[in-house]
Each structure stands twice: as C-alpha cells, then as structure tokens.
Amino acid sequence: MTSSDRPDRNGLEQAPGDARSCEVGEVPTRREVGIAAPGVLQPLAGDLVVPRRATGLVVFAHGSGSSRHSSRNRAVAEVLQRRGFGTLLLDLLTADEEQIDLRTRELRFDVPLLAGRLVAAMDWSQGDVGLPVGLFGASTGAAAALVGAAQRPARVRAVVSRGGRPDLAGDALAQVTAPTLLVVGGRDEQVLALNEDAAGRLGGEHRMHVVPGASHLFPEPGALEQVARSAADWFETHLPA
C-alpha cells in the first residue's frame, strides 16, 4: 500500500534538486508544435521546451476545462525545465472542440479519446525529440495519462498525477507498469479517497504524496511548490535512461 510523504518546508528555490539545473547561460529550445492525431482534422497545439542536454521529456495532459496555458502546469513545467527535462504542454482538444457546448463537456471526460491523443503525441515525440517520456496529468488528464501509459508500457518511464482522477482509468490501472506518483491535497478529501482506491489497483510501483492543508488546485502558499518539487524528484529518479 502507498504511503504519504512528510511535508517539505523548504522554499522551492532552496530545493536540493535545483542545484542540478541547467547551466547558467544555456537557452532551451522553445517552439510551438502541431501534432496530428487519429480522427482529428486540426493538429493538436502544443508548446515544446527542450533544454540542452535534456535527460527526458515530460508530456502534460491537462484536466477538464484547462489547456496548455494553465498557470499551474506551466509553473510545474518551469521547475522541470530547470532540472533538465524537456516539457510538452499539449491541448488534447482542438480549438473547435473547445467551444463551450454540451459536446465539449462530453469530450473533456472522454478518457479513451484523450488517452488516444496523448499516445499520438508520445509517438510523435519519439521521432521529433527522441527522449525518454514521462507523463504529468492533472484532474481528468491523469486518467488519460495512466491509460496512455498502459498502452505504451515500453515508452512511458514514469507518471505523475496532480489532484488527478486516476479512478477514471478503470481497468487500465492494473496494466500500468510505469512508476506512478499520485499527488493529492490533504483537504481534497473526495479526490484523496479516489486516489487511495486507485493506488491499490495500480499494477506497478507507486507512491502517494499528500500535501497537508492543500485543496484541489493547490492555491495555498507553498503547496504548488511541493507538487513541482515532488514531481521533479520522481522524474529524476525514474525517467532518465
């Protein structure tokens, strides 16, 4: 069974892992990308950042109602970049699909559809970036990440869920062999219970990090920093070749 981490009271800028960040003066490669996916007329929009000598690529799967412009995921991505990881923040729905209507709400919770598009992005990255892949999922995006990891076990090295709904991955949980970290706020009681149940069904190594006093979106002082730091540590342990 999983165990919760003790809270880290250090500031993000003082995290030991930051000492292993990219060297001063190194400028990461940044570009917007468009990724083709099955059944999608428009390419999926993504923001790709790859530091020099990157040791892995973390692909982000956003939650319902969010996008690659999520300030929370961008904050986590910046920490990962400083730790030497490339990041791909990806919109799993097209601009047309994001129009606010009933169909959009259905698509945002269509885990198989989102997972299929995430898999397409991973397959694209193999040819374009060529780095070991980790997945970072938030909310419903966590379920898509876990289903994607189950479908590409040889490709996905590690998974991190932030305030996620891993329970929505269903039977795919037992097929996930990639080391998985579930990060949940201590005050996010319903999601915490769902994560505890899902953790017991994961097929591979897993760990749970409960951020004390944090609610679902981790707005409390220092909470998101704990998320970013624990994610970076997890990827640093499991992602590089």
> What local confidence, expressed as pLDDT, does residue 26 receive?
59
Residue 142 domain-assigned (yes or no): yes
Residue 148 domain-assigned (yes or no): yes
78 compared with 40, residue with greater pLDDT? 78
Instruction: State the helix-helix crossing angle for 140-151 and 111-128, rounded to 10 degrees.
Output: 60
> What local confidence, expressed as pLDDT, does residue 93 receive?
87
- pLDDT per residue over 149-196, tens digit each? 999 999 999 999 999 999 999 999 999 999 999 999 999 999 999 999
- Number of independent structural domains in the chain: 1
Provide the token pair at 148. 């994607």
> What local confidence, expressed as pLDDT, does residue 198 receive?
97
Letter string b/e over residues 116-150, b meaning 16 or more CB atoms within 10 A of that residue's CB: bbbbbbbbbbeeebebbbbbbbbbbbbbbbbbbbb
Residue 35 domain-assigned (yes or no): yes
- pLDDT per residue over 20-74, tens digit each? 444 434 567 899 999 999 888 889 999 999 998 999 999 999 876 667 878 889 9
Residue 7 domain-assigned (yes or no): no
Determine which of 96-110, 116-130, 146-160, 177-191 has the lowest per-residue pLDDT on average.
96-110
CATH of the domain at 200: 3.40.50.1820
Letter string b/e over residues 50-68, b meaning 16 or more CB atoms within 10 A of that residue's CB: bbeebbbbbbbbbbbebbb
Alpha-carbon span 208 to 192, nearest angstrom: 10
Chain CA centroid to CA 27, Å: 23
> What local confidence, expressed as pLDDT, does residue 16 receive?
37
Residue 19 domain-assigned (yes or no): no
Please spell the DSSP secondary structure of 157-192, one letter per residue: EEEEEES--GGGGGGGGGG--S-EEEEEETT-HHHH
Q: Could you list the residue range(s) of the whole structural domain that residue 147 is in?
A: 27-238
Alpha-carbon span 37 to 187, nearest angstrom: 37
Residue 150 domain-assigned (yes or no): yes
Residue 222's φ and ψ, nearest 5 degrees, are 85, -10
**For residue 210, which amino acid is it?**
V
- pLDDT per residue over 187-231, tens digit each? 999 999 999 999 999 999 999 999 999 999 999 999 999 999 999
> What local confidence, expressed as pLDDT, does residue 98 receive?
73
> What local confidence, expressed as pLDDT, does residue 65 receive?
63
> What local confidence, expressed as pLDDT, does residue 20 receive?
45
End-to-end CA distance of the chain: 27
Confidence of residue 241 (pLDDT cuts 50, 70, 90): low
State pTM to two decimals.
0.86
Residue 16 domain-assigned (yes or no): no
> What local confidence, expressed as pLDDT, does residue 89 receive?
96
Residue 10 domain-assigned (yes or no): no
pLDDT for residue 75 is more than 60: yes
Residue ranges of the alpha helices (H) in the chain? 71-82, 102-108, 111-128, 140-151, 189-199, 223-238
Residue ranges of the alpha helices (H) in 129-171? 140-151
